[in-house]
Structure formats: structure tokens, C-alpha cells
Amino acid sequence: MDNIGEHPPEITPPTETWEVELQKVSIVRRILNSRKWYGADWWFVAVSSVLVVIFIIIAIFPSLFAPYDPSALVGPSFLAPGAYPPVPELIVSNTSSANSLKDLAVTSDQPRPTISVVQGGNSAGALNDAAKEIDNQIKNESGGLRLRPVIDRYATVEEALQAVVDGKDTAAVVGSDEFVRLKAQYPTLREGESIAGGAKTAGGFLLGTNDIGQDVWSRLLWGTRVALIIGFSSSLLSLIIGVPLGLMAAFIGGSFDRLMSLLMDSMYAFPGLILAIAITAVLGPSVINVIVAIAVLYIPTYYRMVRGQTLAVKEDVYVEAARSIGARSREILQRYIFPNVIPSVAIIFSVNVADAILTGAGLAFLGLGLPPTIPDWGIDLARGQRFIQNAWWLITFPGLTILLVVLAFTLMGEGLMEIFNPKLRER
Amino acid sequence: MHESTTMGINAIPGDKSTNTEELVQVEHLRKYFPLQSGLFATLLTRGQIQAVKAVDDVSFNIHKGEVFGLAGESGSGKSTVGRLVLRLLEPTTGKVIFDGIDLSSLSSEEMRRMRSRMQIVFQDPLASLNPRMTLGMAIDHPARIHLTDLSPDQRRKRVIDILSAVGMNPANVFYDLYPHQISGGQRQRVVLARALVTNPALIVADEPIAMADVSVRALLLDLMMRLKKEFDLTYLFITHDLATAKYVCNRIAIMYLGKLCEVGPLADVYQHTIHPYTRALLEAVPVPDPTRRRKEPMPPGEIPNAINPPPGCHFHPRCPMARTNCSVDEPTLRELRPNHSTACHYAEELLK
Amino acid sequence: MHDDILYSIRKLVVEYTTRAGAVKAVDDVSLDIRRGEIIGLVGESGCGKSTLGKALMRLHTGPAKITEGELWFDGRDLMTLPIEEMPEIRGAEIGMVFQDPMTSLNPVQRILDHLTETIQTHEPEVSDADARTRAEELIERLGIRKERITEYPHQMSGGMRQRVMISLALALRAKLVIADEPTTSLDVIVEAKFLDLLKELQKEFGLTILLITHNIGVVAEISDRIAVMYAAKMMEVGDVNDVFAQPKHPYTQGLLRSVPNILLDGAELYKMAGAPPDLSHPPSGCRFHTRCPFVMDICREEVPPLEAIEGAQSAACWLYPSVMAKRLEKEHA
């Protein structure tokens, strides 16, 4: 125990404190350990970040997960979720020797085969695809056989089958379950092979199909890409513009601050969706314009938050200390104020993305912004609205997906805000 | 150069810096903080803008190499004086002369460069360190600004040396730590290190140990005194704790509501007090000895508002010695004993 | 002074859940508070004294919990009461004065309303007029002019707010007042007057006061007894004159030597080596052994119990035969 002594007392670095030990522990353990400390918030952040990561992966590689092309008319309309479309098969008369579609191939001087289908089913599409495929296969073979059937459409299955019975068509392509049902009425017909085009629909439609036969599930997955692109890009754009403005306004103060705040407050006061509608209406439909419109919406949010934080930090003692050591204003802004303001920005970014996705869907729902060729949840919502009675799944699943994505981003942002609140970080 | 009547009294035995050249001269310093601004407010108050008279005509000198204490309660203006001396605040009127240079005559760029010679240590070490900078970076920053002839390696070495000098060893480990990873006492050492890296002549210490643990305070004070010898420093030691001031200050000034009450060598002010406020203050300090409990009553009332301080002598409503003219005439600081001044009309009555 | 014990704290343990696990902020602490005394509870920051203060009213929520011990207040163990009954005791029987008077009073309530509400919540039969009279008398007694009773907290100074806090405790004739760093944010003259006030209240109302502070001087000025805590444990308890004259525990010795004394001349400040331990990994045996100049082998291994050393003075230190004797007793038991 020294008195005012000769040697400076040795201060050991924190080698034994729990914090240093904590640093030695792997990050996985640390995350698990923090669970007890942060309670429910930890779970929110954990679950929602996993969801967010999943969504991002889906957005980057939608084709890995989506069984069908989102714009392709791959199935019968209004197929309920989980239901399997009937496998289309070739129906010929008992007297015919053909069994498969290929058998119907003829040479160019022979009359083309006519095949009857039911309008609106997946049979027509399947037949078309299968015929093309086979045609491509055989056209280079010797013999000059081609398969280019003429397709006759009928309103009902019965009419299509009757046409074969009457000899008007060479064959029919109908769903196998339909033929099974009606087989007894048409004793002169027999089943051939199933149409290869059915292989494409063999995957089934997880969430059903929409009014024109597109796979709902695939559209949802592909829609993620658009939603996330819009969400992230617009938030990023708002950030890039709003943050520096907020920093400068708070730091410089004076009339610049007053003017800027006036402008931002006016923008903020304007109802968001209306502003976005106005901008997209003026600029025209495209993804870029939607991004810009939404970005404009959120600039005031970043501006206000950053300005408020900067005003607070500006008065902190370490900023005064920075002045006292002779640092220039630019340095103070860069190294003392900015790094302390940024964490809060990162957190509202997450919530912002959620909000932007919601706004984007809203715009698309109203028919603004996105060209109809791009699969988007909002457009699906709009289309599905009409059929809510018969085909509830058309509006439900896009709606649920939007809900889930928005929830995931919001929870992650809010949870992070709880955890990274600087007041909690104590020693 | 002053007549060296101050020589013997100012020097601490063993302290070799008996140079009595004035490092800092504060002349009639005033700092008023206006309460409202703008046209409307001026109209309302008919041109009489109300202000907090935080510092009201304060003059003193700090000798080179001494520890000059500035003590007072809240509202006394002592912290404001500290910042005015460093020109972190602009005075309303008055001058601060540092090493012969009038600070108000400097341009902002010149002032910026002057800062390498005068540094401040704040009360709250955690608040005064940027939470996003490592300790090494924090100390390196002033070096980077002012020690421009050093290469980055030389600079790093200097920072490491300073960290060692304040007792943070092994320094290269502490270099990369963040403020929240070390204790309060250690942080204050880092703040000291940052203040020292440019080799300043003056350090303003604003309640440097108030937030440290009791057992750490003595260590910090000890460190500050050792550093003073090692780096040939002068301290302006701002405090409210008269008990601690006794251990480190050579001279001390007592402030009340923006004005100086008493200035003089510490032993004189404490033992031959010639101002009633100082007297009350010294009486009030709790003594860690139950056999010597305070028997004197305390002055009535509380510290009044700094916006409308009592007329005449600010202390008169609470003063046991107040006479009628105390509420009318403002006392000025006058030298009553050798190098020992007071601002009290009737201080003679306190002479023993 | 009475030997009648108002509050008997027995083997109290308060645990905090932190990121690094459970930390015992108060570890097996026992203390008797005598009726009518002012007892000072001192220690450095982190020693557990504030935690102990709050535990006495079972105020802890969230990550802090009383996990063991008994709190015998005025004849009954508060730990056996359901937590819903505690508000009846708080304010009415045990009052608390906190460190920061700025934040412990509701800024949108007048002082009058603070007081009358407190009175009428605990004694609903009191009329508005009677409550107001009582409130006015109270603040006059505490040195505040009764016209100021209609003011808001922000219109009053720090010292006055602290007096208002005391008056809230007195309004219901609380038996015990726990004052947690009541003067730390006050200027020294106001502090001195506040301490005078506490002493007067002790005399006039027979008030028992637990004064929690890190300021040894304050304790020396007004306490009858002093209790010293270190690293969540009680190190020494005794009459203030005895402990200051002859501190038994090495920590107390070091602590008293390191406190600046304005009346002493020419002294140098004594410094204790080391620092208080990290409570999530406390040292084995006696918590102070890593800094103790008199450390022995047993100190590193076993925690010394708090035992009477001389008269009414107790210390938890193996240096003393009575403490050692207790251990031998236990061994033979």
C-alpha cells in the first residue's frame, strides 16, 4: 500500500473482468447468452432476422424456389391451393391406332390432325407445349413427319369428346379424371397416353392458380424480388439524401436549418401515399419511378431523426472536448458527431424498408407505378380482390406475405432499437 | 515581472517551479447569457434583456507553475470562468491574456493552434470521450492536429509514452480499447493523457475528481501532481470540494454568484479567512471526525437567482455581518493582507 | 438511544441478472437498525449499499430480486407479505429520500398535491382541508414558507426539494426514513443545513434514519452508528465514535485514512491499492483479501462472519479472536 509514491501504480488492462472473458467466448455463445439479458426483444430480433435473411435469399434466387415462371400460364384457372390439375391425356376412338401424340404426326401432304380441347383448361396449354416439343424432335428426322395439330376448342368436355365420336376431330385431349367420369357415355373412345406437357404441371400448385392460370406461389416468390428491391433502394436513396441534410442542418443551424426544416416538415405533413401517387402519376410506371417516389416520401424521416440526434450530440461533452483540442468543424462532424448518430439511422432503416414495401404494394394495388408484366404482390392483391368470393386464395396469400415481410423488418428494427439503445450500454 | 513578495508563500516546499511569471491574466471578465432573443422579446421587456450574469467582472492572475484553485457552489460561475480562459466561450466583455497574448486578438485559426498550449479536463470522463473512438485514437487526435512534424510512427510512440506516463500500462493494450471497456478512474487518466499529448502549459481541470470513487480520487490527484512536475504544468483547478482543494492548491479563489469573494494563498484563505462567505463555506464542509462536529449555524437562505442577484454585495441577505450599505455598494476586491484579497466592506472584523 | 430494534435485516441476498450471469449485489448481509437512531451506511460505488436501501422497501423490479433473507420490520417479516401489500408500508411506515430531487418529484404536480395525495391515499378519512393544514404545518416545520406550498417542483431549489421529500415521509409519520445519497447533488452549505434538519427531526419526532452515502464526512457529522459495506458484504458496524477512533476492519482503516479532512494540516492523501472487485467473479474467501495489508492464508479461503469484536463494534475479519472463535465453534458443531 503506497503513499504518494515514486512509481505510478500499475493499472492492469481488464484481463480478468467478465467483459474480456466475454470477448473470448465465441459469438454464438454470446448471442445465446444475451438471450437471458434481453428477454423477449432477443426473440423478436432472432426470429425476424432469420425471416429477413430468408426473404433476401428468396429475392436474390427466386428461380431456386419457384417451380414455375410467374408470368407463364401454366395451369387451369382458379385452381385451389394444393389441388392437382387433372393430367391431360389423349383420347382416341377405338378404331384409331394412335396411342400417343407422336403417333398423330403426318407428312406435309397429309391433312393435319385436329384435336379437340376444353376451353380454359390446362389441356390446351399442355397440348401446345407437348406438340411443339415433339415437332421439334421429329422435324429433323427422315420421313418428313411433322406434328402441327389444329386445335378445336369446345365449351365442355362432353362436346370435345363428342367431336371425336362424330369424326370431326382426330383426337381429344382432356383431363384424365374427367374422362374417367364420362367414360361410360363414350364406349367408342379409349384413353391413350398422357400428354407429356403434363409433366410440367406435375409439381402441382402449392397455393393454387390465379384467374389466368399463373401459379400463385411462384408469383409470390418472384414478387419478393421486386418488393425488396423497391424497399431497399428507396430507403437507401432516402438515407443518402436525408442523412447529410439533417447533419448539416443541425450543425450549421441558422437560416439554413430553418429553411430546410420548413421544407422537410411540409413534406412530412403531406399524406404519404397521396404524394407517392402524385409522383408516379407524373413520372409514369416503372420500377425506378416507384423507387424515386417512395424515396421522396421518407427523406423527411431521416432528416428529422438525424437532425435531432445531431443537435443532442452536438451538446455532448466529448464534442466540446473535440473543440478544446482544436479540431476543425469538418473533423468534428466526421469523427465525433457522425459515428454517434449513425447507429440510430441503421435501425430506422429496417423499419423504413418495411414501410417502403408496404407503400410499394399500395401503389401497385392502385394500379400505379409498376408495369403489369412484373410480378408484384400489390398487383396480385388488386386482381384477387374481384374473386374474393370464389377464389379466396388469390388475395389471401399475397396479403399474408406482405404482412409477414413487413412484420419481419419492423420487428427486427424495433428489436435492434431496444438492444442498441445507448443508455443500456453501461459499465 | 511581479515583485517577488509572492515567492515564499506560493511555492510548495520541494516544488522547484518558483517562477512567478504570470501565465494567465484575467481582466474584468464578464459573461452574460441572455435569456431571450429576438425582436418580440425585446419589445415585451422594453429593451431590458434579461441575462444570467454567470461571470460578473472577475479579475485574477495565474502564476506559472502553480495550482490555482477556483472554488464555489453552483451558480458561482467557476466552470464558466474555466471555459472563458480557454476561449471555449466568448466573453461578453473583458480580456484573457495567455502568456502575454490577448486571446481575443487572435483569429479563429490562430486560436485553434493556440489550443495546443491550453487544455481542459472535464468532470465526467465518460462523457468527454467519444464512445466511438479508441483510447489511442482519442489521444492521437490532438497530436495529429498540432504535432504536425511528427510521423505517424513517432506520433504513436508519443501516445504510448503518454499513456504510460498516466499509469495505463501496458499502454499498447489500452491503445485499442474503448472508453466503455475501462473504469471511471482509468478514463480520467486517459482524459489527462489527451490533455497532455501536445505538451500544454496550462490545464484547466473542471471538477476532475468529482465523479471518481473515493478511493480513486487520491490516486488521480497524486497523478495530477506528479504530471505537473514531470511536464512543468500550471493548473486552474475548479472545484466545489474545499477539503480536496486543500491538498493540491497553492492559491485559491472563492466565487459567489459570478463574483470573486476572496483570493489568496491557500493556507491564508483557510486559516485567516477574511470573507464571511468563505467562512461559512469552510464551516459547512463535513469533517470525517465525529469528535469535531460542526457547531456553527449556517447562513440562512439559499443561493439566489443569478438573473436578479441581490443588489450591492450579492451575499448580503445571508451575511451575519451585513450592514445597511452592503445592500447598496458593491464591494470590490482589495488586498487586505499580503497577497490576500477580499471583497467585503467589513473584512477587517474578521482579521485575527 | 434505545436498544429497541426497528428493522432487523437478516442474511439478505439481492441478485441481479446480467448478461454475464447472476450477480449478488448484496450477499448475506445482516444489520439491525435501532429505533430512533441515525445509522450511516457507507461504502464505495458498487458495494451494494443502494441496493440494500431499495431492498428494505422491496422496491426492486426487473433484473433485481431478493433471493434470500428476512426483513423484520417492526415485528413482522416483510418478505412474507404479498408484494401487493408493500405500497401500504411504503410511504406510511418507511419513507425514502432519493439522490436526485429533480426526478423524484412529479413535475406536473404542485407540492401541495404531492403531500395531500400522499396523506389521503394512506389515510382516506382525512378531509381535504385537514390534509392541507397538515401539509402546511409540515413544510413550515421543515423550513419552507407555507405560501410556497402551491408551487411546482421546478420552482424550488434542490435543497428545498429534498426537504419536500422528507416532508412526504413525515406526512405519514413514517417510522423509518431511508435516505439514499440525499445530499450528493446539493451544494455544501445546503447540505450542512439539510444534515442539521435530519438531526432535528431525529430529536423531535424520534425518527429513525438510514443514511446511505459514500461521503464519510456526512456520516461523521450526524450518525450515531456506522455500517461499512464492501463488495456486497458488511465489513464493520459500530458506534460512530468507536469506529472512527479505532476502526477494526482493514478496509475501514484504509477508507478512513483516504478521506480528505479539511481540518488536518500538512497531510498527504492516503491511497488504497487495488480496486473493488468485480462482483460477477468475486474473490474467494474475504472479499477484501486482495488489497489487505494483513492478509493471511485463511482470508483467501473462507469468508469471515460479522462478529462482535469489542462492545457493540463488529467486524468481519479473521484477525480477531472472536471471529476465529466462531469458526472453531462451527467446526465443532
Q: Which domains does chain B have, with CATH numbers?
A: 66-79+110-350 (3.40.50.300)
Residue A9 C-beta-side C-alpha neighbours within 13 Å:
21
C5-18 and C64-73 beta bridge pairing: antiparallel
Residues 6+ apart with CB under 8 A from A248: A256
Measured over the CA atoms of residue C8, residue C11, residue C17 and residue C19, the dihedral's sign is positive
Q: If we measure between CA atoms, which residue out of B312, B342, B308, B345 comes closest to residue B329? A: B312
Radius of gyration of chain C (CA): 21
> SS3 of B145, please?
helix
- Counting beta carbons within 10 angstroms of the beta carbon of residue A424, is it exposed (0 to 12), middle (13 to 18) or buried (19 or more)? exposed
Q: Which residue of C has its CA nearest to B220?
A: C271
- Counting beta carbons within 10 angstroms of the beta carbon of residue B117, is it exposed (0 to 12), middle (13 to 18) or buried (19 or more)? middle
The predicted model gives C75-98 an average pLDDT of 87
Domain presence at residue C23: yes
Domain presence at residue C116: no
Residue B20 CA to residue B3 CA, distance in Å, equals 9
> SS3 of C10, please?
strand
In the prediction, which pLDDT does A2 show?
A: 31
Distance from the C263 Cα atom to the nearest Cα atom in chain A, whole angstroms:
20
Phi and psi dihedrals of B226, rounded to 5?
-65, -40
In the prediction, which pLDDT does A195 show?
A: 72
Share above pLDDT 70 across residues of chain C, in percent, rounded to a whole number: 98
Residue B138 CA to residue B145 CA, distance in Å, equals 12
* Pick among B107, B120, B141 to test the A interface (most A CBs inside 10 A): B141
Distance from the B42 Cα atom to the nearest Cα atom in chain C, whole angstroms:
24
The predicted model gives C262-267 an average pLDDT of 78
Domain presence at residue C140: no
Residue A307 CA to residue A56 CA, distance in Å, equals 31
Which grid coordinates are listed for A343?
A: 447507429
Distance from the C63 Cα atom to the nearest Cα atom in chain B, whole angstroms:
21
In the prediction, which pLDDT does A86 show?
A: 67
Residue B56 scores a pLDDT above 80 = yes
Residue B231 scores a pLDDT above 80 = yes
Strand-pairing partners, residue B61, are B25
Buried b (16+ CB within 10 A) or exposed e, C84-98: eeeeebbbbbbbbbb
Helices (H), chain C: 49-55, 86-89, 101-104, 111-122, 128-141, 158-171, 188-205, 216-222, 240-245, 250-257, 297-301, 321-332
Q: Check: CB of residue A89 under 8 Å from CB of residue A193.
A: yes
Domain presence at residue C312: yes
pTM exceeds 0.80 for this model: no
> SS3 of C86, please?
helix
Q: What pLDDT band is residue C333 in, cutting at 50, 70 and 90?
A: low
In the prediction, which pLDDT does B37 show?
A: 62
Q: Which long-range contacts (CB under 8 A, 24 or more apart) does A414-421 make?
A: A414/A44, A414/A351, A415/A41, A415/A42, A415/A44, A415/A45, A415/A48, A416/A45, A416/A346, A416/A347, A416/A350, A417/A344, A417/A347, A418/A38, A418/A41, A419/A38, A419/A41, A419/A42, A419/A45, A420/A343, A420/A347
Query: For B8-21, what is each residue's pLDDT tens digit?
Result: 323 233 333 334 58
Q: What is the DSSP string of A221-279?
A: HHHHHHHHHHHHHHHHHHHHHHHHHHHHHHHH-HHHHHHHHHHHHHHHHS-HHHHHHHH
In the prediction, which pLDDT does C72 show?
A: 93
Map out the domains of chain A with their CATH numbers: 55-65+214-424 (1.10.3720.10), 88-201 (3.40.190.10)
In the prediction, which pLDDT does A238 show?
A: 93
In the prediction, which pLDDT does A303 show?
A: 94
Q: What is the DSSP string of B300-330?
A: SS----SSSPPSSSTTGGG-TT--GGGGTSP
The predicted model gives B339-343 an average pLDDT of 94
In the prediction, which pLDDT does A29 show?
A: 60
| Mean pLDDT comparison of A216-220, A222-226, B168-172, C52-56, highest-scoring range | C52-56
Cβ separation of B131 and A328 shorter than 8 Å? no
> SS3 of C194, please?
helix
Cβ separation of C271 and B215 shorter than 8 Å? yes
Cβ separation of C19 and A4 shorter than 8 Å? no
Query: For A219-277, what is each residue's pLDDT tens digit?
Result: 888 888 888 999 999 999 999 999 999 999 998 888 899 999 999 999 889 888 888 88
Buried b (16+ CB within 10 A) or exposed e, A51-71: bbeebeebbeebeeebbbebe
Residue B274 scores a pLDDT above 80 = yes
In chain B, residues with a C-beta closer than 8 Å to the C-beta of A425 are 180
Nearest to B286 among C44, C160, C215 (CB): C215
Q: Which residue of A has its CA nearest to C282?
A: A17
In the prediction, which pLDDT does A75 show?
A: 67
Strand-pairing partners, residue C34, are C5
Residue C208 CA to residue C61 CA, distance in Å, equals 26
Residue B128 CA to residue C109 CA, distance in Å, equals 35
Residues 6+ apart with CB under 8 A from C162: C97, C101, C182, C183, C186, C194
Structural domain for C76, as ranges: 5-93+172-332
Which grid coordinates are listed for A149?
A: 395439330
Cβ separation of C20 and A36 shorter than 8 Å? no
Amino acid at B188: Q
Residues 6+ apart with CB under 8 A from A163: A116, A152, A154, A169, A172
Which grid coordinates are listed for B32?
A: 452574460
Share above pLDDT 70 across residues of chain B, in percent, rounded to a whole number: 90
Nearest to C268 among A4, A18, A22 (CB): A4
Domain presence at residue C165: no
Per-state percent for chain B, helix, strand, coil, to nearest 5: 40, 20, 40
Mean pLDDT for all residues in chain C: 88
Per-state percent for chain C, helix, strand, coil, to nearest 5: 40, 25, 35
Chain center to CA of A263: 33
Cβ separation of A335 and B165 shorter than 8 Å? no
In chain C, residues with a C-beta closer than 8 Å to the C-beta of B185 are 275
Distance from the A304 Cα atom to the nearest Cα atom in chain C, whole angstroms:
28
Of A34-38, B211-215, B229-233, C95-99, the least confident: A34-38
In the prediction, which pLDDT does A421 show?
A: 58
Nearest to C262 among B214, B217, B243 (CB): B243
Domain presence at residue C16: yes
Cis bond upstream, residue B288 (ω within 30): no
Cβ separation of C20 and A2 shorter than 8 Å? no
DSSP B57: E
In chain A, residues with a C-beta closer than 8 Å to the C-beta of B113 are 326
Distance from the A336 Cα atom to the nearest Cα atom in chain B, whole angstroms:
6
Per-10-residue mean pLDDT for chain A, 427 residues long? 35 47 55 63 81 88 80 72 72 79 79 81 75 81 80 83 83 78 80 62 68 81 89 92 92 89 91 85 84 90 91 88 88 87 82 88 82 82 82 84 89 74 41
| Mean pLDDT comparison of A86-100, A407-421, B242-256, C96-110, highest-scoring range | B242-256
Residue C307 CA to residue C313 CA, distance in Å, equals 8
Domain presence at residue C144: no
Phi and psi dihedrals of A34, rounded to 5?
-70, -10
The predicted model gives C87-111 an average pLDDT of 83
Q: Which residue of B has its CA nearest to C221?
A: B293
Domain presence at residue C252: yes
Q: Which residue of C has its CA nearest to A8?
A: C273
Query: For C188-206, what is each residue's pLDDT tens digit?
Result: 998 999 999 899 889 988 8
Q: What pLDDT band is residue B90 in, cutting at 50, 70 and 90?
A: very high
Residue B290 CA to residue C33 CA, distance in Å, equals 20
Measured over the CA atoms of residue B312, residue B317, residue B319 and residue B321, the dihedral's sign is positive
Q: Check: CB of residue B158 under 8 Å from CB of residue B114.
A: no
Distance from the A342 Cα atom to the nearest Cα atom in chain B, whole angstroms:
11
The residue that leads in pLDDT, A96 or B87, is B87
CATH classification at residue C300: 3.40.50.300
Phi and psi dihedrals of B153, rounded to 5?
-65, -45
Residue C102 scores a pLDDT above 80 = no
Q: Check: CB of residue B263 under 8 Å from CB of residue B333.
A: yes
Question: Which chains are adjacent to chain C, needing at least 3 Cβ pairs under 8 Å?
Answer: A, B
How large is the angle between the packed helices A338-365 and A377-385, nearest 10 degrees?
Answer: 30
The predicted model gives C225-252 an average pLDDT of 95
The predicted model gives B140-149 an average pLDDT of 92
In which residue are the cell numbers 466526421 written?
A334
Q: What pLDDT band is residue C245 in, cutting at 50, 70 and 90?
A: very high
Amino acid at A51: L
How far is residue B248 from each of residues A316, B262, B266, C18, measured CA to CA in Å? 29, 18, 9, 40
Number of folded domains in chain C? 1
Per-state percent for chain A, helix, strand, coil, to nearest 5: 60, 10, 30
Nearest to A33 among C19, C272, C278 (CB): C19
The residue that leads in pLDDT, B49 or C219, is C219
In which residue are the cell numbers 504530471 written?
B227
Residue A58 CA to residue A61 CA, distance in Å, equals 5
B142 sits in which H/E element? helix B135-146
Cβ separation of C271 and A34 shorter than 8 Å? no
Interface predicted TM-score of the whole assembly (ipTM), two decimals: 0.86
Distance from the C294 Cα atom to the nearest Cα atom in chain B, whole angstroms:
19
Of B192-206, C156-170, C220-234, the least confident: C156-170
In which residue are the cell numbers 447507429 written?
A343
**C221 contact B CB<8A:** yes
Q: Check: CB of residue A74 under 8 Å from CB of residue A215.
A: yes
B164 sits in which H/E element? helix B152-165
Residue C121 CA to residue C114 CA, distance in Å, equals 11
